């Protein structure tokens, strides 16, 4: 029994290593369209789960604080830029943040033909009282008030 557990864990560990290696060598342009959300917020994680449910495997979804999210953000945003104020929808040419991202995200969900096998981890590590109605309205206000559009450099 112990050897069976070891073998299955070894296969899982091998899959994780291969995925991490692929992510290290990839540019964010290989993953677009993609959504970056606050994975330390319960409501934001629920929003990402809804996006995943509608988009299926058309859009890559990652958290602001995940290794992949940090790598992508370092390629796109300037050093002093606070990208965690809002969620981001990133295409090949543009990064849309907050309110500006809603319509392009919906358009991509409805019109994209791209399908690939994407892994999505909907976990969140909410360390604040973010599961009440006050937090919901605060996050909704933040979504509607914050908006940004960044034209990406061609590489």
Q: Is 98 helix (H, G, I), strand (E, B) or coil?
A: strand
Q: Is residue 152's pLDDT more than 90? A: no
Indicate the pLDDT class of residue 58, thresholds 50, 70 and 90: confident
What pTM does this model have? 0.76
Burial (CB count within 10 angstroms: exposed 0-12, middle 13-18, buried 19+), residue 136: middle
Average pLDDT over residues 98-115: 88
What's the farthest any 2 CA atoms get from each other in the chain?
A: 56
| Of 151, 119, 96, 106, nearest in space to 31 by CA | 119
Do residues 100 and 150 touch, judged by C-beta distance below 8 A?
Answer: no
Backbone Cα Rg of the chain: 17
What confidence tier does 118 reach under pLDDT thresholds 50, 70, 90?
low
């Amino acid at each position: 029994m112990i050897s069976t557990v070891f073998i299955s864990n070894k296969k899982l560990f091998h899959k994780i290593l291969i995925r991490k290696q692929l992510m290290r060598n990839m540019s964010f342009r290989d993953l677009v369209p993609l959504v970056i959300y606050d994975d330390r917020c319960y409501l934001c994680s629920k929003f990402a789960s809804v996006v995943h449910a509608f988009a299926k495997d058309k859009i890559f979804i990652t958290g602001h604080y995940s290794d992949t999210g940090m790598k992508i953000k370092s390629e796109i945003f300037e050093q002093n830029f606070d990208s965690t104020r809002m969620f981001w929808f990133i295409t090949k040419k543009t990064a849309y943040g907050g309110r500006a991202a809603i319509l392009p995200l919906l358009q991509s969900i409805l019109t994209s033909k791209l399908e690939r096998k994407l892994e999505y981890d909907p976990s969140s590590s909410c360390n604040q009282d973010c599961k009440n109605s006050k937090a919901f309205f605060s996050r909704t206000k933040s979504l509607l008030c914050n908006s940004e559009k960044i034209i990406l450099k061609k590489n």
